[in-house]
Amino acid sequence: MKHLASQLLTVAKSVLARAEVLDLDRIAKLRSDFLMLMKAARRVSNYTEAMRVKGYIGKWSKDFDDYMYKYFQDQFANMKFREEVSESDWKYWDKLIRENTWPFYMEFSMPISKADSYYTEEMRFAKFQEELPKWEARVKRKALLAWKTLNNFVEWYALEGELPAKPFTVDVPIPESVMMEGFSVTLSGHDHVKKSAEYIELFRAGLKVYRAKASAVYPWLIQNQLPLVLDFKAGMDIGGLYERDHIRLNGYQSGNPEHVAHVLAHEMSHHRYRSIGRAAQDYWERMIIGDLGELDLKTLTEKYPDKYHTWDNKYIKNESPFLYQQLNSLQHSPSVPKAVKDANDIGDIREYLEKGGQTKVTIVRHPISGYASKNPEEAFCEALGYLVAFGPSRVPDIVLGWLKDILLSVKTASRIAHRPIKVDEAVVRDLIKDFFEFIKVSGKTHGASDSERFQPWDESEQ
């Protein structure tokens, strides 16, 4: 296993940092690394080994995602605009490659989640062993189609046009490592962006704010700061991404320096959460789960007009900031029906109720932000992130108390003295169990995608 782990590290640490030719040899190398990772997944003998291999697979998948869905697809689209390939050929291959590689990419993630207060390491590993044969079969079936499609594309492209055959070259941005405000920052893809200098200066200002505020509120973040990657090729749905040994941030940061500081503090809070220990995580989880309540949708439709937006309404925000955050959380809460998540205004909710939809949905009674309702770890990151960037007035007092209970050195300046809430352990455990079971059913019933489904303590959660 040690020899195999050494090989896996070589695969996991490979960096896409130069122009590469997409040819049959490149595809064969991708396939070879994939088969080695599958072999490792079959050979794990306990939970710890399984989670380690899952991390290796995650790194390989991240490289595959970057290569195929950022660099390759962009390059191919640019060739269409330059009329180097016909419109019909581009449409055919673009659609075929996406349809035949994306299912493989989505499936290639080991079916094991992180242990928590309800699911022990032994339970997680036993479930993984049960699911392993079916998962292997699915991955191999989808991988065969992916490799076949890529091989066919390479052979078609090599023979397209005049001889001799030409290879398809993928231009992969070469990162540039710099020191910025005392932080190690890697710039990626910035040389192809006209206004990159403006975004880099905004990021620099955000780093300065982050250093000053984090040092004052919770110095651990600065003392254990991970390297940063400012990626101008990141998808627009990504603001920041915690990737365990570094933090990736979208080069197109919006807003002001305080917003950038919040993103940085949020992502570093993931790093802190993974290191505070199981006892502290259990306490935080109990507090978050115990803070769940109900929102009566019928009462909401009776109080506000149909034209009011559910997720961003200044009138509701001014009248009831807590309700504003609770409505914003409907988009992210794992237990909320899809029709309510997708509602743009009160009229959509009224229509949902008229069709027989459930009148009450689960919300957080003391909301930190909409995104914080995704799961307890995100709630922790939002709480500490907002505290660092905007101060204690931005976080509910009761939440500040919970932070103080597990991060003794954090400076919350809470306006209300807080004591740990005493709860019946048996009641809380039943609540957590019922909640997790409901989430599983909700994910299947309301058509949540794999990326949206609530998987508490999954190592792949960002």
What are the structural domain ranges in the chain?
Answer: 2-170, 176-273, 278-445
User: How far is it, in rounded angstroms, from Cα 258 to Cα 208?
Assistant: 10
For 44, 127, 144, 264, the CA distances from 152, given in Å and listed in that order, are: 34, 37, 12, 43
- Give me the pLDDT at residue 173, please: 66
Sign, CA dihedral 230-236-239-245, equals: negative
- CB neighbourhood size of 267 (10 A): 24
Predicted pLDDT at 403: 94
* DSSP-derived 3-state class of residue 408: coil
Per-residue model confidence (pLDDT) at position 418: 44
pLDDT of residue 304: 85
Torsion angle in degrees (nearest 10) through CA of 351, 440, 453, 142: -120
Q: Which of 141-150, 361-370, 446-455 has the highest mean pLDDT?
A: 141-150
What residues have CB less than 8 Å from 256, skipping those under 6 apart? 202
Whether the per-residue pLDDT at 187 is higher than 90: the answer is no
pLDDT at 309 > cutoff 80: no
Examine the pLDDT at 265 and tell me if it is beyond 80.
yes
Angle between helices 121-159 and 87-107 (to 10 degrees): 160
- Summarize the confidence of residues 33-50 as an average pLDDT: 94
Does residue 55 have a pLDDT over 50?
yes
SS3 for 177?
strand
Q: How confident is the model at residue 228 (pLDDT cuts 50, 70, 90)?
A: very high
What is the DSSP secondary-structure string of 243-310?
Answer: -SSSEEEESS--S-HHHHHHHHHHHHHHHHHTTS-HHHHHHHHHHHHHTEEEEEHHHHHHHS-TTSBS
pLDDT value of residue 320: 82
Q: Identify the band that residue 219 occupies on the pLDDT scale cut at 50, 70 and 90.
A: very high
pLDDT at 336 over 60: yes
Which whole-number Å values give the CA distances from 197 to 200, 209, 252, 379, in the listed order?
Answer: 5, 19, 11, 33
355-410 tens-digit pLDDT: 998 889 888 889 998 889 888 999 999 999 999 999 999 999 999 999 999 998 88
pLDDT confidence of residue 339: 85
CATH class held by domain 176-273: alpha beta
pLDDT given at position 18: 58
CB atoms within 10 A of CB 414: 17
Residue 395 or 451, more confident: 395
Segment 438-459 mean pLDDT: 35
Most confident of 12-21, 25-34, 72-81, 304-313: 25-34
The confidence score (pLDDT) of residue 322 equals 79
Question: If you average pLDDT over residues 137-157, what whole number do you get?
Answer: 92
- Report the predicted TM-score, pTM, of the whole model to 2 decimal places: 0.62
Give the pLDDT confidence score for residue 165 in this predicted structure.
Answer: 56
pLDDT for position 128: 94
